[in-house]
Amino acid sequence: MIKNRLARKALNKTVRIAGAVLALASLGLLSATLPAAAAEKAKFGHVAPPFHGQSKGAEAFAEAVKAQTGGRIEIALFPAGQLGGELSLAEQVQSGTLQIATVSTAVLQNFVPQAAVLDMPFLFPDRQTAYRVLDDPEFQERFFSFFPTKGFTAIGWTENEIRDLSNSRRPVRSPADVKGLKIRVMNSPLYIDTFKQLGASPVGTPFPEIYNALQTGVIDAQENPVLTTVLMKFTEVTKYVTLTQHSLTECVIIVANDYWQSLSPADQQVFRDAARQAIEVNRQVNAELHGRLPGSGLSIDDFAAANNIELIRLSAEEREQFRLAMLPVWDKYRPKVGEEIFDFTQAKISQHRQ
């Protein structure tokens, strides 16, 4: 009996050991078949169409974040207003329901009044000066510092384009040529005041109705980047196009504050670096689109020649006439924007002017 009891104990011990081995083996097998940890996902919304430089810049941002985090963070892109217009996008980021968006300063000034400084008419003497100011680390630090208290963390730029003027009445080379034009403008007090100052009659026509309004004579003119003017076929009904470049439609990449704080310092730096890549790609694609328009493959100049459009480039002296005409508008908005950021921006423009 003693032998039997000893045999049973030995058998039970063997069974327990075997069971433990099997359990460990099954756990090992289970862990081997488990998928890798799911990537952290963040949504990025904007309103640009997929072919536009702004959209390509957002794609570059997403690719850079994924590459630099080894796929740990993935950015899901929602172009062409899929998540709403710019005002809605800003509100979503502010509330934290959307992680990232890029929104024009014309809209962001409703939340951050200081953002309007970049919408001042004829602020920059040329595109390259504008880029040098925007890329200046000191300017970025000062400009972006106004955003966190409003629910946003600003980390970089995307660009729509610089705005120009087309009309059906006459060539525009001076402020006097704008007088009397019925012109469609964005529904922004600053844009309305700008063209009132030039003696025009601003009209708040919705964007989808611009072509028909031009065709029927409800309006004589509209102001949009020349690339938009061509792609929307406004040049079919406005044969005078002046590259006024009166306002830079710059957009800020904004991140929801709570989401930003959830990122490690290393990941925050990844996002900032990705934002720099985004604007580089954005500007490069926009420049390429000017040289080869979608649909025709022609440059802006060749397209104008082929379609009987008078394309006017302002000289430095002509642009200066417009800038001087805008000083009353600047004076009106300087206290609204904030005198410190207004003067700081002017100083940076002087510093970086060619």
CATH number for the domain harbouring residue 75: 3.40.190.170
Residues 206, 221: Cα–Cα separation, whole Å? 14
Strands 240-256 and 73-78, bridge-based pairing: unpaired
- Local structure of 92: helix, strand or coil: helix
> Would you call 201 helix, strand, or coil by DSSP?
strand
**Domain assignment present for 17:** no
Going by C-alpha positions, the residue among 226, 124, 238 that lies closest to residue 181 is: 238
> What is the crossing angle of helices 189-197 and 327-337, to 10°?
160
Q: Which of 208, 104, 225, 125 is nearest to 165 (CA)?
A: 225
Contact 158, 282 (CB under 8 A): yes
**SS3 state at 180:** coil
Asked if residue 211 is part of any domain, the answer here is yes
| 13 lies in some domain | no
Q: Measure Cα distances from 56 to 239, 266, 284, 328 in Å.
A: 30, 25, 10, 38
d(CA 26, CA 261): 40
Tell me what pLDDT residue 204 has: 87
The number of folded domains in the chain is: 1
- pLDDT reported for residue 283: 97
The alpha carbon torsion through 46, 49, 50, 56 (nearest 10 deg) reads: -60
Identify the CA nearest to 158 among candidates 28, 277, 292, 34. 277
In a domain, residue 84? The reply is: yes
- pLDDT tens, the chain, 354 aa long: 444 444 455 445 444 544 443 343 343 433 344 445 568 999 999 999 899 999 999 999 999 999 999 999 999 999 999 999 899 999 999 999 999 999 999 889 999 999 999 999 999 999 999 999 999 999 999 999 999 999 999 999 999 999 999 999 999 999 999 999 999 998 788 999 999 999 999 998 888 899 999 999 999 999 999 999 998 999 999 999 999 999 999 999 999 999 999 999 999 999 999 999 999 999 999 999 999 998 889 999 999 999 999 999 999 999 999 999 999 999 999 999 999 999 999 999 999 997
**Contact between 242 and 173 (Cβ < 8 Å):** yes
The structure tokens 């440059």 sit at: 299
Residue 166 covered by a domain: yes
Domain hosting residue 177, numbered range: 40-352
* Cα distance between residue 268 and residue 148, in whole Å: 15
Q: Is 10 part of any domain?
A: no
